[in-house]
Structure 1
Amino acid sequence: MKFKLYQLPVNNLKFNLVLMKRFNGYKPFLYNITVNACKFFANPKSSPVAKFFYESVVTFSNINHSCPYNHDIIVDKVPVEFINHRFTQILQFPEGDYLIEAYWYRSGSPIAVAKVYGTLS
């Protein structure tokens, strides 16, 4: 994934993370959290749920620092085995189809939506 940031620097950022599971359509499942991203990146322990998802991609991205962001955001080459381990061994999610939606806001205005679909089997 590559997110092009057109207005730099970014230093007032929030995100809403929604986990959904497929039950005759995608329905909310376990988590729906909103986090001030700049404060979270400075102190990831402030939100354990966001920290779990953050740790799932931080090693494979360039989001490993706090605000401001003066560059595009890249998440690349996340191994399936790594994600599978996190979602089946660390947190034991049941098998099924999942959707993770991340809504991003800058200064209160929506700027992006990222949707990641996956299947645990």
Structure 2
Amino acid sequence: MQSRYFAIVDVILLFLYQMHLMESRGIEFTNINCTTLDKEFCDFEYCYLKAINRTYKPLSLKVRLYKTPVTKFSINIYFHKRSNGLMPISHNITVDGCKLISEMKNPLVSFLFGMFKAYSNINHACPYDHDIIVDKLPTQFVYQQFTGLWIFPEGEYVYDSNWIAYGKNRANVRVHISYT
């Protein structure tokens, strides 16, 4: 009887330890680089991480569009793991941005878009006749989206996206992420 009691206590302690490990894991933005490739088409007014405290570093960016309305754009997305250089860990995906927002058929892309949709004004179908803003996207929100879905080992990752309008690459956004 006593050994059964200790076995139950051990299982409960193991469960609590696993919960602690899961709660101590997290995703953190470590850097963001925004590059304008066509200054006549668009430019970044700002692109930064602001450290409010040790655990709260929201991501913000604003892109000024000079040639509006934008009726055709696509996004080229790829994900790398940093390990003595950048190692690709996902497919190089290019999606039609206008169709993405109006149809949301690709589950992976819909999931990625859902990560920042609540913090952005990219929430309607084409055309876009206004500046693009992502305002204070917190890592806690991104981590909540990934909880239970993150299949990659701990480490440093880079999310790279090229923003293409009318067949020409106009901007690049590169977000460095630490998963611990």
- What TM-score do the two structures reach when normalised by structure 2? 0.63
- Deviations for 1:60-86, whole angstroms, at most 9, x for unmatched residues? 000010000011111111122111222
- Deviations for 1:35-82, whole angstroms, at most 9, x for unmatched residues? 0100111011x2111111100000000001000001111111112211
The answer (yes or no) to whether the contact 1:41–1:66 under 8 Å persists in 2 is yes
Unpaired stretches in structure 1, ≥5 consecutive residues: none
Alignment pair present for 1:38 and 2:98 = yes
Q: Which residue of 2 aligns with 1:17?
A: 77
Q: Which residue of 1 aligns with 2:156?
A: 97
Q: Distance in 1 between matches of 2:123 and 2:91?
A: 23
Q: Distance in 1 between matches of 2:78 and 2:85?
A: 15
Aligned residue among 138, 144, 148 for 1:85: 144
1:93 shift after superposition? 3.0
The amino acid across from 2:67 in the alignment is Q
Q: Any idea what SS the aligned residue of 1:118 has? A: strand
Q: Distance in 2 between matches of 1:27 and 1:88?
A: 23
Q: Distance in 1 between matches of 2:87 and 2:151?
A: 19
User: What is the count of residue pairs matched by the alignment?
Assistant: 120
Q: Which residue of 2 aligns with 1:112?
A: 171
- What TM-score do the two structures reach when normalised by structure 1? 0.92
1:20 shift after superposition? 0.8
Q: Which residue of 2 aligns with 1:70?
A: 129
CA-atom RMSD in angstroms: 1.2
Unpaired stretches in structure 2, ≥5 consecutive residues: 1-60
The answer (yes or no) to whether the contact 1:5–1:71 under 8 Å persists in 2 is yes
The answer (yes or no) to whether the contact 1:3–1:74 under 8 Å persists in 2 is yes
Aligned residue among 113, 116, 120 for 1:54: 113
The answer (yes or no) to whether the contact 1:19–1:29 under 8 Å persists in 2 is yes
